[in-house]
Structure 1
């Protein structure tokens, strides 16, 4: 392997190029550290893991303040950004330690940070497991509560942001999906113990 700019090997750069060609939704994972200070980072590595119990996973960089907070408090929120949330995505992917002073946020019912202006949905999670893999840790979170409004998801691919393309009118007329209102719809799971 030969080195590339920034200490990244050629193979690592090819891998980054490959993954940048796969568009994905953008989320900001938030938590509170042991002192109650909000922490968060932009994350495109979010996926569902199981339906029963509802569990998702996020991949967080080892050594990050966000991973440290999630590990300390055993809870996190996944804020799914809408197409107007690009500023938040950029803020939470940068080095600024005062990220929360640059966005509008509130506390979820659990007390976790919710990016109320930039996220069309938030899932409040309890850590159910972790697995360190290379320079990241996969964090599994059992979903305790979801709040969701209408919104067009923000995507990232080919190193640029874009809005999810809306279907044509004829495709929308054929859809049998129930419309959602503009107020957050909360769903809660009962605690198993």
Structure 2
């Protein structure tokens, strides 16, 4: 008996998966674009003037980013004057890692958080995604801020700063990311961020 035939993926599914990978790659590379996406994802439907006001981004830039996100297939426009913008929460599972709006939110906060921007400049976006995971373990009571340094392979001081900086990302993700459990399948219910973080406030999540 010959070898079993290899499993095949329907062409339509391959196209969808590749398009999603390309879209997520674009968002990972452009923090401001990711910031607009996450805001719409978490608070939509919203109008473009609402995005402009909430994120303090120029009107022309907002229009350009919304147009880009629509072309990437992750936002929809509906209505007329004002147009409602809504976003589809992305999820990519690859090589044991899961990318959801929570990861994209962490990337987006480079625009407004110096500690996250410094961490990415030093270690890259991949290490930031790993830091989100370790921050989740910390706020679930599994590790301390200091012990996050070892699995991340970064100095202790940097580990402490990035874990603290990612707390609003985790708080917002628990409330607004429908794929949050997929990122933390073993500890999602144990993650406990500070009560004073107001996850209903756009400034907490995207400012």
Give the TM-score normalised by structure 2: 0.24
Q: Counting helix residues as a fraction of each chain, which structure ranks higher? A: 2
Q: TM-score, normalised by structure 1?
A: 0.25
